[in-house]
Amino acid sequence: MEPKKIAAGVAGVLGVLVLGFVGVVSMQPATMDIHRTYTVEAPAEILFALVNDFDNHPQWEPWGAKDPAMLVTNSETTAGVGAWSSWEGNDDVGSGKQTIVESLPNSKVVTSLEFIAPFEAKNTATFTFVEDGGGTTVTWRITGENDFGGKMAGMFMDIDAMIGADFEMGLQQLGVAAAAELDRRRVEDAVKLQLAHEEAAAKLAAEAEIAGEEVEEAPVAPATEEAG
């Protein structure tokens, strides 16, 4: 067989393989929806505050452990709609920016996520808080469109497991941070109660001292002689 015919045959086979691969990739899910749920024994307002304020994120976000030297920059106003936080780190955490776009007190926090490295992508992260008895159920979800690169990556990696593991760790650390905040508040309340008791005792002692001085300083009526 002539070399040109062999080359043409190989090229044809490769072309079919490439087209087949592209077809398989294109059939992968067009959207991404990864979420994890965790119940924390704390009121929703504590958990909401930990998520709604970027200054509190280092207490529970899982990525700091992957890159302790990660550079994080927060907006001047760190909480609520419009607040943003950007990060730049190693290959494990990459770089990007997140901005709070919805904030419903003690109920929901939504952020827009813009990943810059190691790949570019735009997603949405949502936290919801539902109180149930003495605890709060927190759901952390990330959603977005799957482009060709995302579809191809999903064929070779378990993206749900990878991101889900980070979510699980973050939610557990969120529970630890909430417990620490509850302990801090208990100590603060105990100190306030102790100070209130001390102030009340000091006030009673001062009032008793004043009352005693008034008794000592009260004039004594002169004795009168009985008629003989």
For the chain, counts of helices (H) and of strands (E): 4, 7
Structure tokens at 23: 């077809």
Residue 99 belongs to a domain: yes
Structure tokens at 61: 């976000």
Using 50, 70 and 90 to split pLDDT, how confident is the model at 219? low
Number of domains composing the chain: 1
Which residues have C-beta within 8 Å of that of residue 103, sequence separation ≥ 6?
Answer: 52, 79, 80, 81, 109, 110
Q: Are 31 and 131 in contact (CB under 8 A)?
A: no
Q: Please tell me the predicted confidence (pLDDT) of residue 26.
A: 54
CATH code (residue 51): 3.30.530.20
Using 50, 70 and 90 to split pLDDT, how confident is the model at 96? very high
Q: Is a pLDDT exceeding 50 seen at residue 24?
A: no
Instruction: Using DSSP bridges, classify how beta strands 31-40 and 71-74 pair: parallel, antiparallel or unpaired.
Output: unpaired
Q: Are 160 and 34 in contact (CB under 8 A)?
A: yes
Residue 217 belongs to a domain: no
Residue 126 belongs to a domain: yes
Residue 20 belongs to a domain: no
Q: Is a pLDDT exceeding 80 seen at residue 223?
A: no
Separation of first and last alpha carbons in the chain: 162
For the stretch 45-72, pLDDT in tens is: 999 999 999 999 999 999 988 999 999 9
Distance CA 205, CA 224 (A): 38
Residue 225 belongs to a domain: no
Residue 34 belongs to a domain: yes
Q: Which residue has the tokens 């090229």?
A: 11
For the stretch 40-50, pLDDT in tens is: 999 999 999 99
Residue 224 belongs to a domain: no
Residue 5 belongs to a domain: no
Q: Please tell me the predicted confidence (pLDDT) of residue 228.
A: 44
For the chain, helix, strand, coil in percent to 5 are 50, 30, 25
Torsion angle defined by CA atoms of residues 175, 179, 185 and 190, in that order, rounded to the nearest 10 degrees: 170
Structure tokens at 122: 């735009």
Domain ranges, residue 61: 28-183
